[in-house]
Every structure is written in C-alpha cells, then in structure tokens.
Amino acid sequence: MRYSPAGVPIVAARLVHNSVQIEAGSKRVVECELATLAAGEIAGRLEEAELGAEFRFTGFHGTQNRNSKSLIFHLTDFETITL
C-alpha cells in the first residue's frame, strides 16, 4: 500500500478474469488481466482479501492519470462469491 500526497491509501493490483461468454450464438472463452487501482477505504479491504478467491468487482475504467491513455480499472467495491 502507498499513500497519495493527500494521504489517501492506494493499492495497485492485477485482476484475472476467466469465463465463457456467448457471442453471435457461439461460445467464446474470455481470459484477461486488468490493471486495477483501489483508493481510500477499499484499498485496505483489497489488501486484506484472500489471494485466489473469487470476487465480484464494481468500478469503472479510466486512465492512470490525466496525461495517460492507458486504461486502468478503478475499483469502488467488491464482494466474495461463494459457490
């Protein structure tokens, strides 16, 4: 965990997604990794989350900073998925 100049806790992570989706009537395997940033209270929760567990994440895509064109997922909430 690091802290912004304003003292806000920030955690950077990579989220891994694996699923099978239907596209144009055919099954498509989807596998990707998303660069992710969590700030504030959610950063502490993410840092304590169990590695390898399954979660449902909520957030939005944006850029890393105002001068960047690289996408990053800004995490706003998450919950554990129990199977």
pLDDT, tens digit (0-9, with 9 covering 90-100), for 14-51 = 999 999 999 999 999 999 999 999 999 999 999 999 98
Residue 82: band (very low, low, confident or very high) from pLDDT cuts 50, 70, 90: confident
Question: How many distinct helices (H) and strands (E) make up the chain?
Answer: 1, 5
Q: Is the pLDDT of residue 74 over 80?
A: yes
Q: What is the mean pLDDT of residues 63-67?
A: 85
**pLDDT for position 68:** 87
Q: What's the pTM? A: 0.81
CATH architecture observed for domain 2-80: Beta Barrel (2.40)
Antiparallel, parallel or unpaired: β 9-23 and 26-39: antiparallel
Domain boundaries, the chain: 2-80
